[in-house]
Chains A and B, each alone.
Chain A
């Protein structure tokens, strides 16, 4: 049982990390960047090539993944989102889904459809509080908590963070206040890409490098934010863990087939009962 919980929490950590990076882009630019999850996948492939082909150290793999995905995310912002700023949701939805599918397609072309083993942090599992857990899994949970604390602190305690919050609240007002909204959103996207890509060796150690992981991950990240509230880092951590546990426990009690179905059920329930998420707040519409 405890083993199941550890498994759920470690998968949940991946969802939490994805959710955190989604939040980052959302706070700075108001966009749910559907393609963000693809940077996690790209990160695992960078880790796979770094480990299996180049045989470099994990530190280099992390730096490589972070740099590569930061650049990709920056390109996405400049090419696919900036021209649409303020044109409404459906435009951004189309282009971010487009970028996601494009990246997925390119990965499929370059690396093929088979999952690849990422050769970092592959030591044996150990016992923790009565359940078995892999070192990579433990590290994932630590990373999720650490990044939550760092991002939450940055966003509340630093001028840059508060500025980003302000820009998310009202883009035009922030612009009038002299905030460079474009640079802010570019920076947030690149940071989100860097975090997702840099964690490739840790995430890939658990998930393998798999080309079609991104769509599911993007949707899980949406569930994470729906639970935790859009824009809340603490909410993303809790939402991520919740989704991971729902999956692990449904698999254990109901069977493999139920993992995704139950997450969808949770999403629909949350949207019906508390659409602003557990940590979000409602905004009255204006004319």
Chain B
């Protein structure tokens, strides 16, 4: 027991190193490259090549499904496209991989666009089923062009390629080509996942609503990752054709699609290197041994059910749990009250938010009835009223989550109603949520940095290649996040797991995230609910500070005392209409407010249990 305890720190240190530096993948890559000179036989070389090809396809699926959150099996169609274009080009005498590679990637992107665009807008089942269907009709489509594709007989006799005129005919040269292309993709994938794109994807997967409120175009990001995921599948198709020199529709069936899905689930769908493991398992297991092939459907089905039920993160998740148990101390539960918000909030360029004659109906219910209000820059404008009076609906209209019934909403001189929610967020409208919306698996730092993804954009290529411009953005992201965290007093919390911090801290974290997006307008949806008296005071101070920094703050809140203390101007909503407005002193003494809101007499029909969206 004693020796175990003594060893623990060392194990922990070793695993920390493993976690922060990709030593295992580097060693694995080196072994793979050197394999032909380690005296392995031809059969083993071929198996390895097949594993790399399968891993490429699975990795593309990981990107779109695991990270993008949408299950699309179009990968098989893209794989087939890459394979066929390579074979067809070979028949026409084009055998240089510089050309066929580009052609395969180009076709992959086209098929990706065609198969992804209709479904991604709808997402979920629609995308999954369209892509399943595409795989089902793949043999029909291939057979539709028998002159080009050879129909069901396929295309045979494709030679090994050249690369810029250098022959890749020898076993070792081709093997190296396969392995190096695989390594290039996985480096690309790794750099993408650990970049700000990876953070944005994790936000997107957990809460599209949150992603939109941070200015991230959900549709565009999903299409982007889906198309990126198409690239390795296209390259895999090309390599597959060159490997055997023969292809036919039987290589691109529904059960191939299922085996890819099984490999993805097995290795862990939101992992970088899991696909290699999953692909190796499928390649050396079900698709290899003759006796096992009979059972392959049963095996795939069982994998999907068992992993889907008990280990949805796959083997990769197991590994991560193991590493984090030793390598990272469990996140300390820190309380915001331990810190003081001393640091100043960076200056914000505020803009007036103006609503005029805003109305909204849900079915026959008039939820907002010609509401007009102005939230001035540098001021805190509070919105109070009983449950069901339309406060949150109003915020959701401003954020663009609901479509406006009638009226206008403008930011300064610019109308923002009718815009999609991510564009409204980019125009400078930041918000917090009634229930703090903090994605899982992000650190406090990353949570705050995610607010800068949309407003300070940088391309994927510079990010993945880690060009200086990307490094600079990264540094700016970190600095801005640190400044915002310091401003709310959460500076020391940086590396803690964001979802592990207590409720009061999570509310402050949401405010820090909003500040990091450099908002012109900040919408706060019941930020004080569930906080103790001390935390409410802290929050009130913070809200005043955000307004003092320049932003227009809109505060929806039930805590009347806090509202009186924190705001400059108060609007009172009842049953969808503004019944009073004025400075805190006026509202405190207003009779109508006392009657309808403070419960001196309760109006009939006030729905206490009404849904609070």
Chain A residues within 8 Å of B, Cβ to Cβ: 32, 79-80, 83-84, 89-91, 93-95, 97-106, 108-109, 215-216, 219, 222-223, 226, 257-258, 260-261, 263-264, 267-268, 271-272, 275, 284-287
Contact = CB atoms under 8 A, between A and B. Distances in A.
B71 A101 contact: no
A272 B402 CA distance: 21
22 contacts: A79-B309, A80-B308, A90-B69, A90-B71, A91-B308, A94-B265, A95-B304, A98-B300, A99-B305, A102-B304, A105-B295, A215-B132, A219-B133, A219-B136, A226-B129, A260-B140, A261-B137, A271-B126, A275-B122, A275-B126, A285-B401, A287-B433
Contact of B129 (A91, A219, A257): A219
Contacts of A286: 396, 401, 613
Nearest to A107: B297
B128 interface: yes
Interface string B123-162: 0111011101110110011011000000000000000000
A98 B130 contact: no
Most chain A CB inside 10 Å of its own CB: which residue of B122, B298, B301: B301
A94 B140 contact: no
Nearest to B208: A285
B261 interface: yes
Contacts of A32: 125
Given A102-B297, A108-B297, A272-B118, 8 more contacts: A84-B308, A98-B302, A98-B308, A99-B301, A101-B300, A105-B297, A108-B294, A271-B119
B309 A84 contact: yes
B125 to A, nearest CB: 5
Contacts of B433: 287
B209 interface: yes
B140 A257 contact: yes
B172 interface: no
B126 A101 contact: no
Given A101-B258, A285-B401, A226 B301 contact: no
B296 A98 contact: no
Contact of B134 (A89, A264, A284): A264
Nearest to A215: B254
Nearest to A170: B611
Contacts of A101: 258, 297, 300-301, 304
A89 B71 CA distance: 10
A271 B128 CA distance: 13
Given A261-B144, A271-B118, A275-B126, A97 B304 contact: yes
Contacts of B71: 90, 93-94
A258 B141 CA distance: 9
B298 A102 contact: yes
A42 B56 CA distance: 36
Contact of A97 (B124, B258, B403): B258
Contacts of A275: 122, 126
Contacts of B129: 219, 222-223, 226, 267
A98 B301 contact: yes
B366 to A, nearest CB: 15
Given A271-B122, A275-B122, A98 B297 contact: no
Contacts of B144: 257, 261
B298 A105 contact: yes
Top-7 shortest CB links A-B:
A98-B304, A102-B301, A105-B297, A105-B298, A101-B301, A94-B308, A98-B305
B308 A95 contact: yes
Contact of A80 (B128, B254, B295, B309): B309
A59 to B, nearest CB: 32
A98 to B, nearest CB: 3
Nearest to B296: A105
A170 to B, nearest CB: 10
Contacts, number: 131
A97 B302 CA distance: 10
Contacts of B100: none
B596 interface: no
Contact of A260 (B136, B304, B309, B392): B136
A104 B297 contact: yes
A83 B265 CA distance: 18
Nearest to B302: A102
Contacts of B399: 287
B138 to A, nearest CB: 10
A267 B136 contact: no
A242 to B, nearest CB: 16
Nearest to B264: A94
A84 B134 CA distance: 28
Contacts of B133: 219, 222-223, 260, 263-264, 267
B453 interface: no
Contacts of A258: 140
Contacts of A94: 71, 261, 265, 304, 307-308, 312
B65 interface: yes
A257 B392 CA distance: 54
Contacts of B403: 284
A260 B65 CA distance: 26
A134 to B, nearest CB: 26
Given A90-B71, A261-B140, A284 B305 contact: no
A105 B258 CA distance: 12
A63 B119 CA distance: 40
B326 interface: no
B125 A287 contact: no
A264 B140 CA distance: 11
B246 interface: no
A201 B600 CA distance: 71
Contacts of B402: 284
B433 to A, nearest CB: 7
B609 to A, nearest CB: 10
Given A84-B309, A98-B301, A287-B401, A93 B128 contact: yes
A106 B299 CA distance: 10
A129 B585 CA distance: 84
A9 to B, nearest CB: 22
Interface in B162-186: none
Contact of B261 (A97, A106, A287): A97
Find the residue from A101, A257, A286 having the highest chain B CB count within 10 A.
A101
A91 B307 CA distance: 10
A105 B125 contact: no
Nearest to A259: B140
B305 A102 contact: yes
A59 B126 CA distance: 38
B303 interface: yes
Nearest to A103: B301
Nearest to B307: A94
Contacts of A91: 308, 312
Nearest to A272: B118
Contacts of A272: 118
Interface in B370-400: 392, 396, 399
B422 to A, nearest CB: 14
A285 B308 CA distance: 27
A94 B303 CA distance: 10
Nearest to A222: B129
B128 to A, nearest CB: 6
B446 to A, nearest CB: 22
B136 A287 contact: no
A100 B143 CA distance: 27
A219 B298 CA distance: 20
B309 A95 contact: yes
Question: Which of A93, A216, A275 has most chain B Cβ within 10 Å?
Answer: A93
Contact of A261 (B122, B141, B258, B305): B141
Interface string B277-304: 0000000000000000011111111111
Nearest to B117: A272
Contacts of B294: 108-109
Given A215-B136, A216-B136, A272-B118, A257 B297 contact: no
Contacts of A93: 71, 125, 128
Given A95-B305, A215-B136, A271-B118, A226 B126 contact: yes
